[in-house]
Amino acid sequence: MVDRLLYEALSEGIKEEIERDSKVFIIGEDIGHYGGSYKVTKGFFEKYGNLRVLDTPIAENSFTGLAIGAAMTGLRPIIEGMNMGFLLLAFNQIANNAGMLHYTSGGNFSTPLVVRGPGGVGRQLGAEHSQRLESYFQSVPGLQMVACSTPYNAKGLIKSAIRSENPVLFFEHVLLYNLKENIPEEEYLLPLEKAELIRSGTQITILTYSRMRYHVLQATKVLVDKGYDPEIIDIISLKPLDIGTISASLRKTHKVLIVEECMKTGGIGATLKSIILEYLFDFLDAPIISLSSQDVPTPYNGFLEELTLIQPHKIIETVEKMIR
C-alpha cells in the first residue's frame, strides 16, 4: 500500500492506461507544459510528447468534437475540462455526438472516450466555476456518469472508464484533490456501475456521492454517539444507478435520506427519489427526504456560499426527525 493524494491517484491511473494502450491520449487546455489546472497531468508532456498530450486553444466545442471524431476511428481520448462548467460550451458535441453516435450510426461507430475534470462547488470560485454538470447531462441517452470520492476509487474508476466502450463523464470534486489515502501498489480496476456501501446500519439509508460523502460521515459520528444506526451508500455511478444495492439497503432500513450537492430541481436526488417511489414504494415507512443545494447560482461570498449547501448539522437534524 502507498499513500496517494486523490489527484496523484488519478494521475497514476491515467499513466498506466497510456502506457498499456497506445490508443489512449489526453486533450484539453493547459494539460501539457502547465500540467493541468490541478496537476493531474503534471510531467505527462515531457514523458509522452505532444501526440499523446494535446494542449488546445480555449475552444471546448472544437477540441471535444475533435476527440469524438478520434474515438470514432478507434482511439481512446481523455478530455480534460479545465473546469467542468466550461464544457457546457461543448454540450452539443457531448450530447448529440458522443452520447448518440453509436445508436444513430446503427452500431457502426463507438465513442470510447472519457470527459473528466474538476467540478462541484469550490471555495469562493463564483457561480460559473461552481457547476454541477451531472444534473445537465443525466437525461442524455448513451452517456455514463461516474463521481469519484476517494483516492482508491478515483484510480480504479478512471482506469475502468478509459477501457469502457461507452462515453463516460467522470466527475472529480475540486475540493477533494488533496484528500490522502493508502491505495494498493498493484493494478486494480473498479466497476463503473456499482455503488459502495460505506457503513452498514439498520435505521435509515443515507444515499450520497462526491464531496457530500464526507459531510455525511462527519454527521454520522455525531449520530452514532447519540445512539443512531444509519446505513451510508456512496452511489458513485450516477448513471446508471445501482438500484440493486439501494434496494437491498432500503428493504432493511425502510427509510431514505438523500444528501447531495446537486440542485434540488432536476438533480440526481430527484431522479433517485422518482425511481425509489416507482419501484420500492412498498418498502418505505416514511417519506423520502432530499437534502440538496439551493436552486440559485452559487454566490461568491463565502458565508452565502455555505448557506446554499447542505452542512453536517442539517443532516443530523433531519435523521433525528426521520427516526423519531
Cα separations in angstroms, 215 against 25, 166, 221, 311: 35, 31, 10, 7
In order of 95, 175, 238, 260, 277, the CA distances from 311 in angstroms are 33, 15, 22, 10, 26
From the number of C-beta atoms within 10 Å of its C-beta (0-12, 13-18, 19+), residue 111 rates as buried
Place of cell 445501482: 242
CA–CA distance, 64 with 81 (Å, rounded to integer): 10
**What are the catalytic residues?**
60, 129
- Residue 190 vs residues 159, 163, 236: alpha-carbon distances, Å: 8, 11, 11
